[in-house]
């Protein structure tokens, strides 16, 4: 999985899976466009450069079409091309039908689905101009494959990401653009860590997370990052429209 001289843009890369993925791509030779909606993503770009890598920080909101286009453009301006887009930016707002507001519905769909749509739209435009095409890897979730309690709209958004990814793959296979999906199970991200830490009984909350995993543990962000690299690498060049499930056996 050698990404030397390839340009990789990762959305939502300030922490968690996005950060781990950015660092791993950089370790494997890629030039990295680090995106986040806030300025905290700049620290990740700094980390990559401190380790001898090449990175640029591009702040922007993926759910806004103008901003999404600017994120892609600034990455291409910095490095001259775009080989891989990882659509990782996303949010989780708990709720079922009865207690989810229209505002929460729109916000979830805006970032998780529209963000993936707009970023892919502008990335495809760039990739079609390149002789070697490119790869898009969309981060969905096992929640897009399996119903989860109190996550109605989140499940719907991740199911939409999977369907959208397969449609883009079908539309652009002749353009030498591959599109794959990674569906993580429960992963020990800063968000999960915060839920455990702030729970009335942190030990009980952590135990509950562990017990619902057949492997008896949570995934690590590094494990998910390796799946993303595989989905994007040349060695997996025959794979497009595929869904990689990495969930500790939750959906087996």
| Mean pLDDT, range 16-43, rounded to an integer | 98
Ramachandran area for residue 177 (φ above 0: left; ψ -120 to 50: alpha; else beta): beta
pLDDT at 212: 85
DSSP one-letter string for 45-68:
HHHHHHTT-EEEEEE--TTSHHHH
**Domains assigned to the chain:** 7-186+222-246 (3.40.50.720)
pLDDT band at 159 (very low <50, low <70, confident <90, very high): very high
- The set of catalytic residues is 154
Q: In this predicted model, what pLDDT tens digit does every residue of 172-206 receive, in sequence order?
A: 999 999 999 999 999 999 999 999 999 999 999 99
Cα–Cα distance between 204 and 199 in angstroms, integer? 9
Residues 56-69, mean pLDDT to the nearest whole number = 98
Nearest to 248 by CA among 197, 214, 205: 214
């Amino acid at each position: 999985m050698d990404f030397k001289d390839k340009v990789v843009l990762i959305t939502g890369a300030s922490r968690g899976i996005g950060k781990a993925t950015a660092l791993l791509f950089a370790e494997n030779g890629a030039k990295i466009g680090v995106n986040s909606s806030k300025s905290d993503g700049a620290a990740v770009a700094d980390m990559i450069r401190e380790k001898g890598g090449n990175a640029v920080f591009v702040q922007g909101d993926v759910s806004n079409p103008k901003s999404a286009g600017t994120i892609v453009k600034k990455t291409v301006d910095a490095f001259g091309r775009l080989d891989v887009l990882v659509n990782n930016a996303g949010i989780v707002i708990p709720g079922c039908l009865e207690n989810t507001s229209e505002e929460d519905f729109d916000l979830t769909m805006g970032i998780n689905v529209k963000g993936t749509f707009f970023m892919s739209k502008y990335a495809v435009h760039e990739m079609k101009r390149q002789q070697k095409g490119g790869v898009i890897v969309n981060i969905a979730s096992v929640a897009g494959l399996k119903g989860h309690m109190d996550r109605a709209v989140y499940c719907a958004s991740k199911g939409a990401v999977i369907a959208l990814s397969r449609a883009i793959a079908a539309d652009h296979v002749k353009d030498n653009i591959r599109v794959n999906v990674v569906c993580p199970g429960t992963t020990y991200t800063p968000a999960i860590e915060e839920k455990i830490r702030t729970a009335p009984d942190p030990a009980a909350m952590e135990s509950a997370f562990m017990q619902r995993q057949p492997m008896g543990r949570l995934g690590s962000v590094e494990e998910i990052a390796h799946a993303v690299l595989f989905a994007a690498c040349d060695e997996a060049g025959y794979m497009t429209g595929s869904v990689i499930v990495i969930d500790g056996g939750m959906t087996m």
